[in-house]
Amino acid sequence: MMRLNPILSQKIIKTLLWILTGSTIGILFFIIIYIFIKGLPQLSWTFLSTNPVDMGRSGGILATIVSTVYLIGIALFFATPLGLGTAIYLTEYTREGLITKIIRFGTESLAGIPSIILGLFGFAIFVIAFGWGWSLLSGGLTLSAMLLPTIIRTSEESILSVPQEYREVAFSLGVGKWKTITRVVLPAALPGIVTGIVLSIARSVGETAVIIFTAGSSLRFPSSIFESGRTLAVHFYILAREGISMPMAYGTAAILVLLILIINISAYMTMRFLMKRYS
């Protein structure tokens, strides 16, 4: 290869790299289009608004949508204050040092813990030790541990991107530190923080391993957070793996992918809008 004319070899390599990149992106589009072609025709208002009947062979997916919303709601209820608090502490109350190193290490490690380990943990602590059984509460709490690192990281970034002058002006007017943070810094950082939370919702929607162990897979319409529930992704997994109903599985998959697409694209749009505003 060394003997090849460098300009020619660059052309060959460049073409090859573009082909590889193109095929990667091709895989993504193929996945989305395949699921949509098979799944979108299954969708109807009845599919969305009725409960599953006969293990999901017929009926719709309403109960699974409600369980998904409950779980994400519970997870965000716990993860948002903890994550935002951590981000405020890291950006406004401390300098880089041993303590921030420890906190950052904890956050990064937690982000790397696979869903199945979190599932085991949630099962041991909430389902067994606390005696809550398989329930939306156990599942939501475990899920919040998974979302925490994402929320910390994105909140920290958006708080850091608020110009230092904002704080200086507030301080010079005699405003206290906490008031400066809640009235000046956080409102300016809010869109970025919300984007982070929205992205963590996208991640929860597709999650399965952690949820099967902690929230169970009951198909009943959940009437309280102490009951077991089956999320969309878990429902899809069970439909597909046990071969209960392929049309229903494709329909559920289409809803899942559609939700994730909408969430990611809107978060991305917000991010671009913000980057333009601050640059």
Partner 1 sequence: MKEKIIEKILTLLAFSAIGVLLLITVFIFKEGLPVILKAGIKDFLFSAKWAPTKGHFGILAMIISSLAVTFGSIVMGVPLALACAVTLAEFCPPRLLVFLKPTIELLAGIPSVVFGFLGVILLVPIIREYLGGPGLSLLAASIILAIMILPTITSISIDAIQAVPLLYKEGALAMGATHWQAIWLVILPAARSGVVTAIILGMARAIGETMAVIMVAGNALKIPSSLLDPVRTLTSTIALEMGYSAGDHRTALFAAGMILFIFIMALTILANLLMRKK
Task: Give the nearer residue to partner 1 in terms of CB position, either 37 or 46.
Answer: 37
Q: Rule CB under 8 A: is residue 81 a binding residue for partner 1?
A: yes
> What is the token pair recorded at 11?
């052309």
Q: Report how far apart the first and last C-alpha atoms of the chain are (Å, whole number).
A: 44
Q: Which of 149, 192, 196, 251 binds partner 1 (CB under 8 A)?
A: 149
Q: Rule CB under 8 A: is residue 93 a binding residue for partner 1?
A: yes
Q: Rule CB under 8 A: is residue 121 a binding residue for partner 1?
A: yes
CB of 219 to partner 1, least distance (A): 16
Placement of tokens 């640059």 in the chain = 279
Q: Rule CB under 8 A: is residue 109 a binding residue for partner 1?
A: yes
Q: Which of 191, 198, 203, 244 binds partner 1 (CB under 8 A)?
A: 203
CB of 206 to partner 1, least distance (A): 3
Residues 1-30 that bind partner 1 (CB under 8 A): 6-7, 9-10, 13-14, 16-18, 20-21, 24-25, 27-28
Residues 245-274 that bind partner 1 (CB under 8 A): 249, 253, 256-257, 260-261, 264, 268, 272
Q: Which of 71, 137, 233, 255 binds partner 1 (CB under 8 A)?
A: 233
Task: Give the nearer residue to partner 1 in terms of CB position, either 224 or 234.
Answer: 234
Q: Rule CB under 8 A: is residue 33 a binding residue for partner 1?
A: no
Q: Note whether 115 and 146 are within 8 A (CB).
A: yes
Q: Which stretch binds partner 1 (CB under 8 A): 48-56, 59-67, 170-178, 220-228?
A: 170-178
Q: Note whether 115 and 209 are within 8 A (CB).
A: yes
Q: Note whether 94 and 258 are within 8 A (CB).
A: no
